[in-house]
Amino acid sequence: MTDPTPARRAPTGVDTSVPHSARIWNFWQGGEYFYEADRIAGEAFAAEVPEIRELALSSRQFLRRTVRWAVAGAGLRQVLDLGAGLPSAPDVHEIARTVDPLCRVVYVDNDPMVTAHRASGPDSAPDDATAYVHADVRDTAHVLAEAARVLDLGRPTALVLSDMLGHISDLDEAYGVVERLVGAVAPGSLLVLSHSAPSSLLPRLAAANDAYAGSGGTPYVLRTPEQIAGFFEGLELVPPGLVPMPRWRPDGSTLRSTADVGWGAVARIG
């Protein structure tokens, strides 16, 4: 899109000539919050790995099922969505509030365009029970301080990390982020986490990821199911445990995956 509509015009200072993972992900999911550089990078990646669109949709479906379960099944009324990305209807606050309109939701992302769209776009939720925090999830102290303006972290909270930890290249650093977040929330909270893993698609994924990184995009690190399981160390996994995302409590709309690329789980904290 060379002339974005006002609803999608980038905030001042945001370079839309460089592809960004959140906008490319939105493009793959059939959204509208992307620019020409994102479309080009996304189409180049999909030319090598056509299954990426299915993975993006599967990831979003996993997020919707797990958030709904956290609210309807586990009774939580607070959600902290870390690395939230761009809006995609129904969004997390909309999913949670179909169960209880009083649910409180905080979105966190380090892309200023993401924050701007979430704060003022047509899909925003202008109320005191929703907040949009511009921060890097690695700065957990800042993230938690800002989240506490809306959430009572002394009450059970769903921590959501949907396919974003692959953007932290160092595994120990990624583990540390999750450990600090888990340690900051009340007993009875939940960790909702998904992550892409190597599979039969690995050779094509690796080549496409290299090309994507070379275009200026943020690279994504694939991790084995065993490494992903490390994020849940010491926690109680909710059945069916850590599984390919489409196998986590599928419903009638769940896509059938052609490859076990995306894995996810929900775990109880405390």
Give the span between the Cα atoms of 188 and 230, in whole angstroms: 20
Question: Considering only 24-33, 40-49, 211-220, 255-264, which range has the smallest mean pLDDT?
Answer: 211-220
CA distance 88 to 25: 11
Handedness of CA 155, 245, 163, 224 (dihedral sign): positive
pLDDT class for 128, splitting at 50, 70, 90?
A: confident
User: How confident is residue 4, by pLDDT bands cut at 50, 70 and 90?
Assistant: very low
Q: What percent of the chain has pLDDT over 70?
A: 83
Domain ranges for the chain = 15-269
Handedness of CA 187, 75, 257, 60 (dihedral sign): negative
pLDDT at 162: 95
Q: Find where tokens 């919050």 sit.
A: 33
Q: Average model confidence (pLDDT) for the chain?
A: 87
Q: What is the pLDDT of residues 223-250, one digit of tens each?
A: 999 999 999 999 999 999 999 999 999 9
Position 45 scores a pLDDT of 85
| Sequence-ordered list of residues with C-beta below 8 angstroms from that of 149, at least 6 positions apart, any chain | 131
For residue 213, the model assigns a pLDDT of: 64
State the pLDDT at residue 202.
Answer: 63
In CATH, what is the architecture of 15-269? 3-Layer(aba) Sandwich (3.40)
Q: Write the CB contacts of 164 (distance below 8 Å, at least 6 apart in sequence).
A: 82, 83, 85, 137
Helix axis angle for 36-48 and 21-28, nearest 10°, is 60
Out of 161-165, 218-222, 244-248, least confident range: 218-222
Of the pLDDT bands very low, low, confident and very high (cuts 50, 70, 90), residue 106 is: very high
- pLDDT, mean of residues 118-136: 75
Q: How confident is the model at residue 1 (pLDDT cuts 50, 70, 90)?
A: very low
Work out the pLDDT band at 2, boundaries 50, 70, 90.
Answer: very low
Question: Mean of the pLDDT values across residues 132-136?
Answer: 93
Cross-strand bridge partners of residue 194? 162, 264
What is the C-alpha to C-alpha distance for residues 25 and 42, in angstroms, rounded to an integer?
A: 8
pTM above 0.85, yes or no: yes
Q: What is residue 5's predicted lDDT score, i.e. its pLDDT?
A: 42
